[in-house]
Amino acid sequence: MKRIMKFCPGLLIIALLLLTPFASSFPDGLEKVAHDLGFISAEKHIGKALMPEYTVPMLGDNGVSTIIAGLVGAGVLLLIFWLINKIMQLHNQSH
């Protein structure tokens, strides 16, 4: 049972990832207000994002592209916290 529990968080994240292509494409609360009040035109993009709008440019705008973009983002976050953990362990060992 404990071993099954260990994989639960990962499986949950994968399940959510598979749902991302079905997310609503309506603008969110703030964007909607910006459209309604006409200040959306003030929006600028500075620099070039690697995966704008949560899609991989090479793959176009489709479900697979969104899932892969999400997978990369989630992977980078896991990596960042894994690194923090490793650095903290090394730091503790040296004391």
Partner 1 sequence: MHIPDGFLDVKAIVMTTSISAAVIAANGKNIKKAFTEQSVPAMGMMAAFIFVAQMLNFPIAPGVSGHLLGSALVTALFGPAAGMVIMTTVVALQALLFHDGGIMVLGANILNMAVIGCGLAYIVQRLPFKGKARPVLLFISGWLSIFIAAFTAAVELGISGVVPFSVVVWPVLIWHALIGVIEGAITMVTAPFLIKILNIRPLRKQEEHGI
Question: Cα–Cα distance between 3 and 56 in angstroms, integer?
Answer: 34
78 lines the binding site for partner 1 (CB under 8 A):
yes
CA dihedral 26, 30, 32, 35 (to 10 degrees): -130
Query: Is the separation of the CB atoms in 43 and 34 below 8 Å?
Result: yes
Alpha-carbon distance 87 to 85, whole Å? Answer: 6
- 34 is a site residue for partner 1 (CB under 8 A): yes
Does 45 bind partner 1 (CB under 8 A)? Our answer is yes
Task: Compute how many residues bind partner 1; rule: CB under 8 A.
Answer: 52
The one among 1, 5, 58, 90 contacting partner 1 by CB under 8 A: 5
Q: Which two tokens stand for residue 90?
A: 């090394």
Q: Under the rule (CB under 8 A), what is the footprint of partner 1?
A: 5, 8-10, 12-13, 16-17, 19-20, 23-30, 32-34, 36-37, 39, 42-47, 49-54, 66, 69-70, 72-78, 80-82, 84-85, 88
